């Protein structure tokens, strides 16, 4: 029985850590690199006939070259609303509307802006590491409670805590890899 409870705590903690990594991955994908990417527009919401609707539900995206993103609305009447949503977003890019599609030309990033973005990405990675460590601490508290109520032996608790530390180390490594990859993308000219 003690293996089952400890296993549940480990599995629950692992699952929460994966969610934290998925979150930081999506946060990092929203940080603009020097290349055009549809991931930058996916979180945008558009006021479509009085309803806040995700842009990805209203339009298709294509990237004809590294510095250009083309937004093709499924309904041409939504073109103005999509353009307005892009202009009011924090992307800092002016859309060009030709009546059929919206083109977003991405200017090259300056060296200074690249360094600022690297700092932002590092901060996001550090927040994710803190979240993972907090999840480890929460898992340890659950194991302590199991040990106190007699559901888990001290030896078993020690073994499971080592497994928990191993999982935490793996997740922190995954965050470091994501960070290194994003820094390479940002610093690539």
pLDDT in tens, 38-81: 777 877 888 888 888 888 888 898 888 878 889 999 988 888 88
75 and 58 Cβ atoms separated by less than 8 Å: yes
Sign, CA dihedral 49-55-61-66, equals positive
Q: State how far the Cα of 149 lies from the Cα of 8, in Å rounded to an integer.
A: 16
Is the whole model's pTM more than 0.75, yes or no? no
Position 31 confidence tier, pLDDT thresholds 50, 70, 90: confident
What pLDDT, on a 0 to 100 scale, did the predictor assign at position 106? 79
pLDDT(2) > 60: no
Q: Tens of pLDDT along 87-138?
A: 887 777 788 888 889 998 877 778 888 888 889 899 999 999 999 999 999 9
pLDDT(1) > 60: no
CATH code for 2-30+110-187? 1.10.132.20
pLDDT(17) > 50: yes
Q: State how far the Cα of 35 lies from the Cα of 37, in Å rounded to an integer.
A: 6
CATH code for 38-105? 3.30.1360.40
Position 189 confidence tier, pLDDT thresholds 50, 70, 90: low
pLDDT(162) > 90: yes
What pLDDT, on a 0 to 100 scale, did the predictor assign at position 22? 92
Start-to-end Cα distance in the chain: 57
Distance from the Cα of residue 152 to its chain's centroid: 36
Distances (CA, A) of 10 to 50, 117, 129, 139, 165: 45, 35, 18, 7, 10
Position with higher pLDDT, 177 vs 113? 177
Q: State how far the Cα of 31 lies from the Cα of 118, in Å rounded to an integer.
A: 9
Position 34 confidence tier, pLDDT thresholds 50, 70, 90: low
Q: State how far the Cα of 59 lies from the Cα of 71, in Å rounded to an integer.
A: 6
Position with higher pLDDT, 50 vs 168? 168
What are the boundaries of each domain within the chain? 2-30+110-187, 38-105
Nearest to 114 by CA among 181, 184, 27, 187: 187
pLDDT(155) > 50: yes
């Amino acid at each position: 029985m003690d293996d089952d409870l400890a296993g549940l705590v480990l599995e629950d903690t692992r699952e929460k850590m994966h969610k934290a990594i998925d979150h930081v991955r999506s946060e990092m994908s929203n940080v603009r690199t020097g290349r055009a990417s549809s991931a930058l527009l996916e979180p945008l919401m558009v006021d479509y006939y009085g309803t806040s609707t995700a842009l990805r539900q209203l339009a298709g995206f294509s990237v004809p070259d590294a510095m250009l993103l083309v937004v093709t609305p499924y309904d041409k009447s939504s073109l103005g609303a999509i353009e307005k949503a892009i202009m009011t977003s924090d992307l800092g890019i002016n859309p060009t509307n030709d009546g059929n599609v919206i083109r977003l030309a991405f200017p090259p990033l300056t060296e200074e802006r690249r360094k600022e973005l690297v700092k932002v990405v590092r901060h996001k990675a550090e927040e994710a590491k803190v979240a993972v460590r907090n999840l480890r601490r929460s898992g340890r508290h659950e194991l302590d409670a199991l040990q106190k109520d007699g559901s888990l032996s001290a030896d078993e608790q020690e073994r499971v805590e080592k497994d928990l530390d191993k999982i935490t180390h793996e997740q922190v490594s995954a965050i470091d890899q994501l960070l290194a990859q994003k820094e390479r993308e940002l610093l690539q000219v």
